[in-house]
Amino acid sequence: MKLTTILLTVAILQASATGIAQEITLSGKDLPLQKAFAVIKKQTGYVVFYNKELLTNTRPVSLHVQKMPLEKFLDIIFQEQPLGFIIRNKTIVLAPKKKTEQQLIFSVSATMPVTGILMDEKEQPVPGASIVVKGSKRGATSGYDGKFRIDANPGDRLIISSIGFIDEEIIVNKEGALGTIVLKLSASKLDEVQFIAYGTTTKRLSTGNISTIKGDDIAKQPVTNPLLAMQGRVPGLHIVQRSGIKGASVDVQVQGRNSIGNGSQPLYIIDGVPYNNDLTIMGSSAIGAGNPFSYINPNDIESVDILKDADATSIYGSRAASGAIIITTKKGKAGKNNINIVFQQGVSQLTRKYKLLNTEQYLVMREEAKANDHDPVGPSDYDLNGTWDRNRYTDWQKALLNGKAKYTDANLSFSGGSANTQYLISGTYHRETSIFPDYFAGQTGATHFNISSVSSNNKFKIQLTGSYLVDESKNMSADLTSIAISLAPNAPALYNEDGTLNWQLDENGKSTFYNPLAYRELKYNNKTSNLVSNLTLSYLLTKNIELKNSFGFNKINVSEVDKQPASSNSPDLRPYIPRISSFGNTRNSSWIIEPQINYYGKFRAGTLQATVGGTIDQRSKEMQGLMAMGYTSDILMDDPTAAPNSFATGFNYNQYKYAGAFARLNANWDNRYIISLNGRRDGSSRFGHENQFHNFASASAVWIFSNEDIVKDKIPFLSFGKLKIGYGSTGTDQINDYEYMTLYSTQYTILGYQGVKGLEPTRLSNPYLQWEQTNKFDLGMDFGFFNDRILIQSRFYVNRSNNQLLNFPLSNVTGFPGIRSNSPATLQNKGIEITLNTANIRKKYFTWKTDLNFTLNKNKLVKFPGLESSGYANDYVIGLPVNIKRVFDFAGVDPQNGLYVFRDRNGKLTSTPDQLSDRVVNIAMDPTFYGGLGNSFRYKGLQLDILLQFVKQKGEGYYQYGDLPGFFYSRAGNQPVTVLDRWRKPGDISPVQYFSSTQSNALQFLSMRGSVYENASFIRVKNVSISWSLPAPWLKKCNLANAQLFVNAQNLATISDYSGLDPETRSSKSLPPLRTITGGFKLTL
């Protein structure tokens, strides 16, 4: 696809680039430099390091700047000072000017009592089953112990049915004692068990909008984050992987964006324990804090249920405004003791590269740019002036991104038990390297256990589940992808002849080249431990009443060391830049207690289920940071006491408390008419006393019309039909802690005021903050044809969120950047979800099944009173989605002067559009539709599964961060070959502006023009899994219970017209999701 944008290289080879996007606002007269340094620390988090003596001959500064880039701000305050500066990650080092270097980015009578016990195939009791005397209205329900009693005559037939099981027909004997009756699991997808809040259901009888992913489907995908195994499998669930680096962040949305200012992350529940979906770190990693689900072992997951509508989520109240994802881990099973071994190993690699300029083309571009600007080749134009070999060519994508990351995963588990006690214990080891040269990414060790037991009378039950994982990761401070696609093709070699890093020193001994492999030396080590545990106790008080209590605990600890050794700097800078180590410790912990009472009763042809309970939840986060500098050796940098200078860089402790009471009532009449009512009252510590509590509720009704006699008679091919309607409310308190209070922080100064550090206000109080609320409407129709060989599920939903919690900007005069407040703005999501499951072929030896899901969601800002006069006037438009980009209307290149031209708000052509008023084109960035198509083929022991993921969307192309073609900045400047179609002389019709070696306003216009946002739709072969199970005779010879060989592939191929590296991330300069292919085996002993 031909690119029509012009780019300016943004790839930053120097470590200082991470600070350039920071901005400073400051006004004052005759301000000492120390005041400016304090402002820099407060507004950006950057530390200025210097010797006191250096300030002896400095002078005060007078200035008035607003949102000025940090680098430019530093240039101004040091303009007439005898000092220069160097930005190294989060540190600004001062040195005399002459020593600085360029910056681095349910009785009748005559009957008898009949009794029995219902058990499943795993010898577990089946509670809540319906037992009906065929041809009569007499019925009963099994208790929590599986026992039942019903009046019947000898020879009567009992119809036994339970969700998730095949109906059984039993003839009553003369004695009336039927003993144990084993129910078999249903093979229909409609009868698969689904986990809901505080209970279970099936797709056939569910009143909510719920989708389920089985653990077997997750296991077929070689991923370390279980969220990535859900992509393309669930309607209404959109997941985006932000980088191909291990542990990178993942965006998750359920039925679109439900909040303007507080994100739209769903509630995550793991074995009844709410899981922290947000991590904060203090160091400088290329992936930031990453994603907490990288610390959940996919091997431990039994199933994942995604709850979307109000009926499914309102019982969770304020925590599930954006849906809920319930993860259930594996449990022990009754039977003989088993040993299971799973091992797989493989590689990951990049799937796509840019076609960039070679050296000859690159030099033509650079020289032409110089000529167009009438700018002679200067001493810092190393690519042109002979400092770098003009005949040299390096394919930097091949040099830096062509590696193969090794993927190794091994799991060992032991399970078994009796009818009363079951156990499971497993251990996993995972190791993964990086595609970057000679770089180790990380390794993980995890253990999972489950013990469950029931008393001999089946009344008291106890279950203990726990998972513990330790992950050790080593990441660079930068993603080398941006460097590989922008570094000049004639840049120097990476290594000297002796194997050391090449810095290409000039005749004065100064480096002309920041070697990208130096980023390996900027070592960021992260050790994370994660404990998730749950204890559940239950007691059967009566036949129909159960008392239950759940206790949960989650703790995530993160320990970081971020080192900047001397080896990360060029030899000429090492005397002036100190060795710096930053140490960080973050502790996230939460506990939850949820007592509840459950009731199950049978009334004629109907059943009634009720649950009443409460929740007490407390979470805390503690962060500590320390910086040490001045080490005399790189090998000492893991020890903070070995540095002559060290100081605390931060301390933070937050606590969140939550309490709630909930109730649910479900009435089912003859499996035809079902009504569900849910209610919850929540209390949150994030609001003032007058607004701490709020009520949420939902109601839904289901009619299973396929169970009506007339339907059975008139439409025999319709095996299932259901109409569902629901409405309810959920809410959110997902804002920062203490935002309703006035907050103070310790002033950041080295000396303080007379040696004492003071306090300064950092946030204005607002005790009137209220809950954000989302009202949800859901309408659904489900159909099954030909004994459920064809299943169709459709949903139409409308979700409206109001009372938005927003940050409103304040004037700088107030001393505060903004204040949190409620806004009457209303945000709407409207959409449809369609799921199709077909059993195309069902033969003895061959089966073929297809699963299709499709989602169409439309997000719209319905109203926002006062939008025009608010600080959001330039970000949102009434009637449009909230995730939009407001850009210029690009009109091409002026044939006469070779400059980009745009249509302003009046439709006139201009090369200098107004930065605000002329941004008249609005680009919607959320997907128009998305979904997945899966096919599963099985022939005897051979199975093939293929999953395709598809998304229709727009995205920013290559030029989203680029520099203008011809510009050489921080030793970078390469461009895609499409720039060669540039304007060269008057009359030329070209999509690319003329080459220029200088930056200009054209860069801003270029990055904000409509044509930068291109078609980023794609179809991806998300997963392919091939497995072969060994025949039974072979297993018998080997004394094995089961054995399987398999090959799994992830992100195998992508079809897209997107010009960037990857349409999913929609980023042109970050590492895309990698193609991973593994092979392995499974054994059961």
> What pLDDT sits at residue 15?
33
Mean pLDDT of 123-152: 79
At 866-880, the pLDDT tens digits run 998 888 888 899 999
Going by pLDDT thresholds of 50, 70 and 90, the confidence category of residue 1002 is low
Flag whether pLDDT at 1010 surpasses 90. Answer: no
> What pLDDT sits at residue 287?
66
Mean pLDDT of 162-173: 81
Mean pLDDT of 244-263: 86
Determine how β-strand 580-603 pairs with β-strand 606-629: antiparallel
Backbone angles phi, psi at 313, to 5 degrees: -110, -20
Comparing CA positions, the residue from 494, 182, 430, 170 lying closest to residue 296 is: 430
Comparing CA positions, the residue from 481, 373, 363 lying closest to residue 974 is: 363
Which position has the higher pLDDT, 440 or 730?
Answer: 730
Report the SS3 class of residue 517. helix
> What pLDDT sits at residue 961?
45
Residue 877 CA to residue 859 CA, distance in Å, equals: 12
Amino acid at 846: F
> What pLDDT sits at residue 1005?
65
What is the three-state SS of 477-506? CCCHHHHHCCECCCCCCCECCCCCECCCEC
At 1049-1067, the pLDDT tens digits run 999 999 999 988 899 998 8
Report which secondary-structure segment, H or E, holds 714. Answer: helix 709-714
Report the SS3 class of residue 312. helix
> What pLDDT sits at residue 8?
27
Report the SS3 class of residue 1016. coil
* Residue with tokens 């090492």, as numbered in its chain: 574
Which position has the higher pLDDT, 468 or 40?
Answer: 468
E strand map for 565-644: 580-603, 606-629
> DSSP of 1029-1072, one letter per residue?
EPPHHHHHHHT-SEEEEEEEEEEEEEEE--SSSBTTTTBSSSPP
At 447-457, the pLDDT tens digits run 999 999 999 88
At 859-913, the pLDDT tens digits run 999 999 999 888 888 889 999 999 998 888 888 899 999 988 899 999 999 888 8
Going by pLDDT thresholds of 50, 70 and 90, the confidence category of residue 19 is very low
> What pLDDT sits at residue 946?
97
> What pLDDT sits at residue 107?
38
Sheet holding 900-903, edge to edge: 889-893, 900-903, 909-910
At 300-359, the pLDDT tens digits run 999 999 998 888 787 887 778 888 899 999 988 776 788 999 999 999 999 999 999 999
Angle between helix axes 70-77 and 33-44 (nearest 10 degrees) is 180
Q: Which letter does DSSP use for residue 650 in this model?
A: E
Q: Which letter does DSSP use for residue 947 in this model?
A: E
> What pLDDT sits at residue 749?
59
At 951-988, the pLDDT tens digits run 999 988 776 445 678 888 777 789 999 999 999 999 99
The region that residue 376 occupies, defined by phi over 0 for left and psi between -120 and 50 for alpha, beta otherwise, is: beta
CA angle 1013, 1018, 1020 (to 5 degrees): 150
Mean pLDDT of 96-120: 63
> What pLDDT sits at residue 16?
36
The CA-atom distances, in angstroms, between 726 and each of 209, 325, 710, 723, 777 are: 9, 19, 26, 10, 6
Instruction: Tell me the domains of the chain and their CATH numbers.
Output: 21-99 (3.55.50.30), 112-186 (2.60.40.1120), 215-330 (2.170.130.10)
Question: Residue 462 half-sphere exposure, CB side, CA atoms within 13 Å?
Answer: 6
Mean pLDDT of 989-1001: 81
At 735-776, the pLDDT tens digits run 888 888 888 877 665 556 666 777 888 888 889 989 988 999
Residues 6+ apart with CB under 8 A from 622: 585, 586, 587, 652, 653, 654
CA angle 834, 837, 842 (to 5 degrees): 170
> What pLDDT sits at residue 1006?
65
Going by pLDDT thresholds of 50, 70 and 90, the confidence category of residue 101 is very low
Burial of 234 (0-12, 13-18, 19+ CB in 10 A): buried
State what percent of residues in the chain have pLDDT above 90: 46
- Give the tokens for residue 609: 């289920």
Q: Which letter does DSSP use for residue 219 in this model?
A: H
Least confident window among 437-441, 752-756, 821-825, 1070-1074: 752-756
Flag whether pLDDT at 12 surpasses 50. Answer: no
Which position has the higher pLDDT, 567 or 130?
Answer: 567
The CA-atom distances, in angstroms, between 342 and each of 108, 301, 585, 887, 1042 are: 57, 14, 34, 51, 12
Comparing CA positions, the residue from 190, 166, 187, 236 lying closest to residue 783 is: 190
At 543-558, the pLDDT tens digits run 889 999 999 999 999 9
CA 819, distance to chain mean position in Å, is 28
The CA-atom distances, in angstroms, between 915 and each of 65, 159, 189, 902, 907 are: 19, 73, 55, 12, 15
- Most confidently modeled of 51-55, 81-85, 473-477, 775-779? 775-779
What is the three-state SS of 320-368? HCCCEEEEEECCCCCEEEEEEEEEEEEEEECCCCCCECCHHHHHHHHHH
Least confident window among 110-114, 152-156, 505-509: 110-114
> What pLDDT sits at residue 6?
28
Mean pLDDT of 501-526: 89
Amino acid at 543: K
The length of the chain, given as a count of residues: 1085
Flag whether pLDDT at 441 surpasses 60. Answer: yes
> What pLDDT sits at residue 791?
94
Amino acid at 469: L
> What pLDDT sits at residue 92?
82
Mean pLDDT of 839-846: 89
Going by pLDDT thresholds of 50, 70 and 90, the confidence category of residue 525 is confident
The model carries a pTM of 0.81
Residue 424 CA to residue 448 CA, distance in Å, equals: 8
Residue 814 CA to residue 632 CA, distance in Å, equals: 46
> What pLDDT sits at residue 282?
64
Mean pLDDT of 245-264: 85
Flag whether pLDDT at 234 surpasses 60. Answer: yes
Mean pLDDT of 138-143: 77
Mean pLDDT of 990-1001: 80
Flag whether pLDDT at 849 surpasses 90. Answer: yes
> CB–CB of 1008/1001 below 8 Å?
no
CA 723, distance to chain mean position in Å, is 33
